[in-house]
Structure 1
Amino acid sequence: MSDQQWKAFEVSVSDYIAEVVLTGPGKGNAMGPDFWRELPEIFAQLDRDDDVRAVVLAGSGAHFSYGLDLAAMGGDLGPVLAEGAKARPRTEFHDNLRRLQAAISAVADCRKPVIAAVAGWCIGGGVDLISAVDIRYASADAKFSVREVRVAMVADVGSFARLPAIIGDGHLRELALTGKDIDAEHAVRIGLVNEVLPDRDAALDAARATAAEIATNPPLVVNGIKAVLDHSRRASVDDSLRYVAAWNSAFLPSEDLTEAVTAVFEKRRPDFRGA
């Protein structure tokens, strides 16, 4: 793993702990094609590696992730947004969406516990990603946003499926329906993160320390604990992911979405009209 070259990540393994660091290439570690292609491959390898007993996940630089790289991934939306899009482009969009969901699910399904260290912004797809890990630490400057509603989208790669078990239904509805930003202290109050540390390095140190504690325990038992804890919610997560994939394939295309994407590129406030 350490010798393999990745475009969107850096991966290292030492003392039974793997560190997976988001590196872009998009600004703020935005999630472009390389991210979605490499993430499931990395976690499949970590899952099989007997020299890995825990995984630390972090972002490079000042931010964890700005979320989906709209500029790089816009081509995936084009066909389904075309006026009069029929079954084929919608089916292709559905299949691609299920591929993105599977990338995030690869993190959740990894038998090795995953601990995230979040600094700076964690937006949209970044929240989807940390919802798939086992334990989350944040720096004092961390900020979180389930922002898809502000770009005329229903979050569809994991937040709605996994966050109810983490922060509860009411808190999730508040974040999802408003698209509001919350700081680290708010995040720890609602249970989105386990602890807030003074800065990025302290959050990373906390994640490493927890990973080291886990790595001293019997690995098959650790795997078993994850399997048992995940068992009761696995079916509901899968059902939620399938439903939102079908819903977005049918209803995502809208004038509001086109307006949202256009506004992003023109760096202005969108004007939504409910069409």
Structure 2
Amino acid sequence: MTSLPENLETIAVDRPVEHVARISLVARAMTPAFFDELPRAVAALDDDPGTRAVVVTGADGRFSYGLDLMAAAGSLGPVLGDPTAANREAFLRHLRGLQASITAVADCRTPVVAAVQGWCVGGGVDLITAADIRVASADAVFSVREVRMAMVADLGSLQRLVGIVGDGHLRELALTGDDVDAAEAQRIGLVNRVYATPDELAGAAVELASRIAANSPLVTRGVKDVLDAERGPRVEAGLRYVAAWNAAFLPSADLQEAFTAFAEKRKPQFG
């Protein structure tokens, strides 16, 4: 197996069966360290000839609570306090870097299965939409939560979900920020299958990855390449657009109110 980056703090990597690697999200939320470690781990596995399928899963009863809001507030601080062109351009570069971290999963030549238990919020949904296949346990809950934080989701959900759940379901998810349980997620096509317990999910995800890994690696990579020929350029164009939109309009009184309300544990009041 190709050596992995050392001293990973936010993810863990193991090999449950031959030819299958598993990435577990150790951190509850997506910190700056997570966005650095994820693409490095994915690249190492993608370069490993012994890895023919990858499972991405959570830990401690949840998948991911999404972006670390305190860290996000730090990155937004300069542009909120002084919304000059230079600060907005710096934020645009920062946002494009976060997008690239999630896109590393979508660009992985090796097939990726996302196994979701518990909460999968915001950036967590961005991540699973970058996977090839999604499965869940019955306790899974999904939310494109950004709209409730006065943000336009900008790490890939708006671009990739349209090819997964369809335009109508995507708009409902993105415009309401509602929580969606596993049964509803399966009904709209967000996940392929739902398993009764997290243990059943874990076994089923590895078994599914093993069935993929039993096929020709050249051909499974070819299938991904052909399927992504249309989606890839469309998603990239959408990511560039939303990054520019958020760099221009994300700093707002509504965003400040959303972060204040979050810190005060109350419902925001938008103007």
Normalised TM-score (structure 2): 0.97
Counterpart of 2:9?
7
- Shift in Å at residue 4 of structure 1? 3.5
Residues 54 and 211 in structure 1, CA contact (< 8 A), matched pair in contact too: yes
1:70-108, Cα deviation, whole Å (9 max, x unpaired): 0133210111111x5111110010000000000000000
Matched residue, 1:126 = 124
Whether contact under 8 Å (2:4, 2:44) holds in the other structure is no
Taking the aligned partners of 2:220 and 2:46, their CA distance within structure 1 comes to 13
Q: Which runs of 5+ in 1 are unaligned?
A: none
User: Measured at CA, do residues 48 and 175 of structure 1 come closer, stay the same or move farther in structure 2, by a change above 3 Å?
Assistant: same
Q: How does 1:193-208 map to 2 (within 5 A)?
A: 193-208=191-206
Q: Deviations over 1:199-241 (max 9, x none)?
A: 1111111110011011111111111011001111111000000
C-alpha distance in 1 between matches for 2:152 and 2:94: 16
Q: Tell me the residue number matched to 1:99.
A: 97
* Whole-Å separation in 1 of the counterparts to 2:4 and 2:105: 18
Q: Secondary structure at the match of 1:163?
A: helix
Identify if the C-alpha distance between structure 1 residues 247 and 197 changes in structure 2 by more than 3 Å, giving closer, same or farther. same
Report if aligned partners of 1:118, 1:138 keep a CA contact under 8 Å in 2: yes
Q: CA deviation at 1:3?
A: 8.3
176, 189, 206: which is aligned to 2:174?
176
- SS of 1:167's equivalent? coil
2:243 and 2:31 mapped to 1: Cα distance?
19
Query: Is the alpha carbon distance of 1:216 and 1:22 closer, same or farther for their aligned partners in structure 2, counting shifts above 3 Å?
Result: same
1:20 aligns with 2:31: no
Structure 1 distance, partners of 2:259, 2:40, is 30
Of residues 230, 237, 241, the one that matches 2:239 is 241
Superposition pairs of residues 1-275 of structure 1, within 5 angstroms: 1=3, 4-13=6-15, 14-24=17-27, 29-82=28-81, 84-273=82-271
Letter aligned with residue 56 of structure 2 = L
CA drift of 1:5 comes to 2.8
Distance across 2 between alignment mates of 1:46 and 1:81: 38
Rounded Cα–Cα distance in structure 1 between residues aligned with 2:120 and 2:84:
35
- Segment of structure 1 superposing worse, 162-171 or 203-212: 203-212
Cα distance in 2 for residues equivalent to 1:237 and 1:153: 19
Structure 2: give runs of 5+ residues left out of the alignment: none
Whether contact under 8 Å (1:2, 1:12) holds in the other structure is: no
Amino acid at match of 2:135: Y
Task: State the identity as a percent.
Answer: 57
CA distance 1:105–1:2, shift in 2 (3 Å)? closer
Shift of 1:248: 0.3
Amino acid at match of 2:62: H
The one-letter amino acid of 2:194's match is: V
Note the alpha carbon deviations across 1:41-67, whole angstroms, 9 max, x for none.
111111111110000110011110000
Matches of 1:3 and 1:148, distance apart in 2: 31
Letter in 2 for 1:216: A
Q: Distance in 2 between matches of 1:241 and 1:33?
A: 19
2:183 and 2:194 in contact (8 A); partners too: yes
